[in-house]
């Protein structure tokens, strides 16, 4: 991948500080109640974050799909 689409992003982590993730390693995610979200990585570990799904989407510059 070129550097524009596979750069790193810093996600706030539950344990404090943050987790530096490569975009191509993010395999998915889900909300974790009112406490933030869980991000699943292709390399194995999960990242528990205080960021919400909409915040994570903005970090990844994702587009919101409209339901019709």
Instruction: Judge whether 56 and 39 are in contact, CB under 8 Å.
Output: yes
Q: For the chain, give every domain's residue range.
A: 8-59
Q: What is the pLDDT of residues 5-58, one digit of tens each?
A: 568 989 988 777 888 899 889 999 999 988 899 999 998 889 899 999 888 988
Q: State in Å, rounded, how far the first CA of the chain is from the last one.
A: 33
Rounded Cα distance between 4 and 31, Å, is: 27
pTM: 0.75
């Amino acid at each position: 991948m070129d550097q524009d689409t596979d750069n790193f992003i810093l996600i706030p982590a539950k344990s404090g500080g943050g987790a530096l993730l490569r975009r191509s390693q993010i395999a998915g995610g889900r909300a974790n109640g009112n406490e933030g979200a869980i991000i699943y990585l292709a390399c194995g570990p999960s990242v528990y974050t205080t960021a919400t799904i909409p915040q994570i989407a903005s970090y990844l510059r994702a587009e919101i799909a409209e339901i019709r």
